[in-house]
Amino acid sequence: MDRLPSKSVFISEIKSKDDRVKLCGKIVSINQENGSLSIDDSTSKVEVFLNNLELKKNIKKYKSEDQIMVIGWAKPTGVDVEVLRKIEGFDSARYKQVLEVWKNVRSKNEKS
C-alpha cells in the first residue's frame, strides 16, 4: 500500500486541503488521558492526537520542552499522528530557514 508523501510546513501554514503533514516543534503540554500533545514551532501551536495504541503507550517517554517531529493527517481539530520522534540537537532557526527555501521552490514550481 502506497502512502501519500508528507509535506513539511509551519504549524501556522496548515491548510484544510493538506493531507499528510510533517511538523517539528517543542512540546508545550501533554495530556496522557486522551493521548495528545500540544506542540509549538514559534509560528503557532497545534494539538496532535496519538490515535495509535503504540504511540499512546510510549507517551510517557516524552516531556514538556522536548523537540519532536510528527508526521500525520491534518484535521480541523489538529493533527492525527502516525509518526512521533524525539529530535536531539534540533536547531529550530536553521529548520525555519530550510522551510522558507522549500516554500519558495514549491511556489516557483506551482507557477510554472
Q: Look at phi and psi of residue 89 and say left if phi exceeds 0, alpha if psi is from -120 to 50, else beta.
A: left
Assessment of whether the complete model's pTM goes beyond 0.85: no
Domains of the chain by residue range? 7-111
Kindly state the percentage of the chain with pLDDT values over 70: 97
Contact 49, 31 (CB under 8 A): no
User: Which CATH class name applies to 7-111?
Assistant: mainly beta
pLDDT of residue 29: 97
| For residues 80-103, average pLDDT | 85
Q: 59: helix, coil or strand?
A: helix
Q: For the segment 9-47, what is each residue's pLDDT rounded down to a tens digit?
A: 899 989 877 889 999 999 999 999 889 999 999 899 999
Taking only the tens place, the pLDDT of each residue in 44-61 is 999 999 988 888 888 999
- For residue 74, with 0-12 CB atoms within 10 Å meaning exposed, 13-18 middle and 19 or more buried, which class applies? buried
